[in-house]
Amino acid sequence: MRSDRSTSAPLGLKIAAIGGLAFLHIPILLIFLYAFTTEEKSYQFPPPGLTLQWFAITWDRPDVWAALTLSVKVATIATAIALVLGTLCAAAVSQTRFFGRETISLLVILPIALPGIITGIALRSAFSMADIPFSFWTIVLGHATFCIVVVYNNAVARFRRVSGSLIEASMDLGADGFQTFRHVILPNIGTALLAGGMLAFALSFDEVIVTTFTGGQQSTLPIWMLEELIRPRQRPVTNVVAMVVMLVTFLPILAAYYLTRDGDQIAGAGK
Amino acid sequence: MTAAVLFENVSRHFGTVKAVDAVDLEIAAGEFFAMLGPSGSGKTTCLRLMAGFEQPTGGHIEIFGETAEGVPPYRRSVNTVFQDYALFPHLSILDNVAYGLMVKGIGRQERHRAAEDALAMVKLPGYGQRRPGQLSGGQRQRVALARALVNKPKVLLLDEPLGALDLKLREQMQEELKSLQKSLGITFVFVTHDQGEALSMADRIAVFNDGKIQQLGTPEDIYQRPQTRFVADFVGSSNILSSAICARLGVPAAAASLRPEAIAIGTSWAEQLTLPGTVTARSFLGAVNRVSVDCDGEKIIVASPAAMPVPDIGAQVQLAFSRNDLHLMEAA
């Protein structure tokens, strides 16, 4: 029966699948292609010529560097906040029982289910009502709202598999709370945290909507790209930056995928 | 002599649920002590009170003369073998066993040597580099034992230690635990719902029900002289004779217990008590035949040696037993 499954799918299905994948990924390849074009004002096809000069030009543009630095800073701090709060929250929800546990679990996940525009408007009006000036920190806070969800979701799934008796066993053998966290909890949830942190970083790095509402004068890399598309000059610079953004966000997500996959085997080995 | 574990009027209530209710208990140093009872009887909560995972809502606990209330698990000189073993999946067997010494800050070489010795003691020498996932249930149980014993606890707590093992392995481990306890001289306290296990291993047994100790005594006491209906019923499967039957036998009592194996079917000697009845069912159990006899509407189970002839269903028989095997109980 198994061999039946491995036989070829109908030709029509194959074509549809290839067509679907092509529709998804060819536009991305085009972005890469136009990073090398010699024509700077419009995206004509095929490109009249290929050049590497846009990489040098991008390298020398201070506004690119400013946007990139801001994005990396925001993503790093938002991820750090999310790692601490998300882990604590996951520990509370999965290891203890208390009144309103399910509600808290739902409320933590809600920001990622809400459209970004609603989170953005809500945060913007909250900040202005509280007279908090829009700054670097308001962007960080905005990003932290959805970064926490990613860390929380990863951590809570792993916490459920770390049986309560492991923690009791550690305490029983003489380890205090801190030692138990360091020697038992962290090694068991470590890969989940790393994966959650990387996903959070990637999410924060390419976030546009919430940033638009919570940012002041600063622009993060995606916002900078959005502004740049309107300008008719040096368009390929945007494509070069797009390539960088893709690499910076894609690699952590890929790593996160492999980490959690291996983590399953490690955590499952004790069962 | 100071008791290894002392409970004075200890209670642990969860809201309205009295998991442990006013328990008095004294476990002597070097004793192999069993807490026996059905699930939800409070025996495991008692163990967790000793380990420090639970704090009493009332009463006083001492471990070797030291007050235990408010002392966290990591500052008690007791160690636990968990029901699910709770081996750390991310550590090798050697590091699992050495864990307690590691958190105490003992050097790598020294703690690994101690861990090797402990593994040898539980007959798993050379297993140090494996992971818990690569071991069988019985081997994991031994590792859990080594991991607890390497810390040289004053009291070793075992929570249903043999529950997850198959019958043959369980019998083998029973003997090993018993001899290990004798050679180490450490106080062992173990929780079980298996009366056979408690009877064969323990020096003394506390039978729990509804958060209270029903009876505390040696295995012979518990088995031969159950004081309450619950103990008679739970430890083995005693017959409980009603006051009406007792009156007919000429022994005035509210109830009395009678072991199935203490009853003979057939002719009786002069000094024995007899009851007439009708056989209603019989089944062959290997060493014995289990015969159900109806005596005036009360069912009495007889364990008759397999070598003896078994009466047919519907046959009228005489049940004979000695007055000494009849244990009177208060109405319970």
* Residues B27, B93 within the same domain: yes
Backbone dihedral region of B266: left (phi > 0), alpha (psi from -120 to 50 degrees) or beta?
A: left
CA dihedral for A110, A115, A119, A125, sign (positive or negative): negative
B103 with A174: Cβ contact below 8 A? yes
* Residue B267, pLDDT score: 63
Answer yes or no: is A114 within a domain.
Answer: yes
* Residues B253, B166 within the same domain: no
- Three-class DSSP category at B193: coil
Nearest to B127 by CA among B172, B94, B156, B90: B94
Query: Last residue of a domain, which of B227, B252, B277?
Result: B227
Give yes or no for a contact between B39 and B31, defined as CB atoms under 8 angstroms apart: no
Nearest CB to B133 within list A163, A168, A269 = A269
SS percent in chain A: helix, strand, coil, step 5: 80, 0, 20
Q: DSSP labels for B55-88? A: --SEEEEEETTEE-TT--GGGSSEEEE-TT----
Domain that holds residue B289: 237-329
CB-based contact (8 Å) between B140 and chain A?
no
Pairing of strands B32-36, B204-209: parallel
What distance lies between CA B70 and its chain's CA centroid? Answer: 28
Pairing of strands B5-14, B17-27: antiparallel
Residue A81, min C-alpha distance to chain B (Å):
27
* Residues B189, B49 within the same domain: yes
* Residues B152, B242 within the same domain: no
- The pTM of this model reads 0.75
* Residues B268, B211 within the same domain: no
Cα-based distances in Å from B200 to B161, B172, B180, B226: 14, 12, 15, 17
* Residue A269, pLDDT score: 34
* Residues B170, B297 within the same domain: no
Q: With a CB-CB cutoff of 8 Å, which residues 170-229 of chain A face chain B? A: 170-176, 179, 183-184, 187-188
* Residues B181, B85 within the same domain: yes
Nearest to B138 by CA among B149, B127, B129: B127
Q: With a CB-CB cutoff of 8 Å, which residues 71-110 of chain B face chain A? A: 72-74, 78-80, 82-84, 86-91, 99-100, 102-104
* Residues B242, B316 within the same domain: yes
B100 with A179: Cβ contact below 8 A? no
Nearest CB to B131 within list A173, A175, A269 = A269
B99 with A175: Cβ contact below 8 A? yes
Angle in degrees, 0-180, between the axes of helices A53-60 and A235-268, rounded to the nearest 10: 90
Rg (CA), chain A: 23
A266 with B89: Cβ contact below 8 A? yes
Domain that holds residue A180: 59-268
* Residues B64, B148 within the same domain: yes
Chunked mean pLDDT (size 10), chain B, 332 residues: 89 90 92 92 93 92 91 92 91 94 92 93 89 90 93 93 82 88 92 89 93 92 85 82 83 83 76 84 87 87 85 87 82 54
Closest Cα in chain B to A189: B90
> Per the omega criterion (within 30 degrees of 0), is the bond before A46 cis?
yes
* Residue B213, pLDDT score: 93
* Residues B51, B87 within the same domain: yes
Q: With a CB-CB cutoff of 8 Å, which residues 143-182 of chain B face chain A? A: 147-148, 151
Q: Which residues of A touch B103 (CB under 8 A)?
A: 170, 173-175, 179, 183
Domain count across chain B: 2
Question: The domain spanning residue B195 has which CATH number?
Answer: 3.40.50.300
Nearest CB to B86 within list A163, A176, A267 = A163
CB-based contact (8 Å) between B141 and chain A?
no
Answer yes or no: is B176 within a domain.
Answer: yes
A20: which 2 tokens?
A: 């679907």
What is the biggest distance separating any 2 CA atoms in chain B, rounded to whole angstroms? 76
Answer yes or no: is A167 within a domain.
Answer: yes
Domain count across chain A: 1
Q: Which of A173, A182, A188, A191 to mutate to test the interface with B (most CBs of B within 10 A)?
A: A173
Q: Which residues of B touch A173 (CB under 8 A)?
A: 74, 79, 99-100, 103, 147-148, 151
From CA A141, how far away is CA A122, in angstroms rounded?
12
* Residue B331, pLDDT score: 57
Residue A178, min C-alpha distance to chain B (Å):
11
Query: Last residue of a domain, which of B200, B227, B254?
Result: B227
* Residues B63, B14 within the same domain: yes
Nearest CB to A168 within list B86, B104, B147 = B86
Q: Which residues of B touch A189 (CB under 8 A)?
A: none
Q: What is the pLDDT along chain A (271 residues), one digit of tens a residue?
A: 444 555 778 889 999 999 999 999 898 888 888 888 887 777 777 777 788 888 888 888 888 888 889 999 999 999 999 999 999 999 888 877 788 888 888 888 888 888 888 888 999 999 999 888 888 898 999 999 889 999 999 898 888 877 778 999 999 999 998 999 889 988 888 888 988 998 899 889 888 888 888 887 788 888 888 888 777 677 788 888 888 888 877 887 788 777 766 544 443 333 3
Question: The domain spanning residue A78 has which CATH number?
Answer: 1.10.3720.10
Nearest CB to B100 within list A173, A184, A269 = A173
Name the residue type at position B249.
L
Answer yes or no: is A255 within a domain.
Answer: yes
* Residues B15, B150 within the same domain: yes
Pairing of strands B239-242, B273-284: unpaired
Question: The domain spanning residue B267 has which CATH number?
Answer: 2.40.50.100
Q: Which of B90, B154, B156, B157 to mutate to test the interface with A (most CBs of A within 10 A)?
A: B90
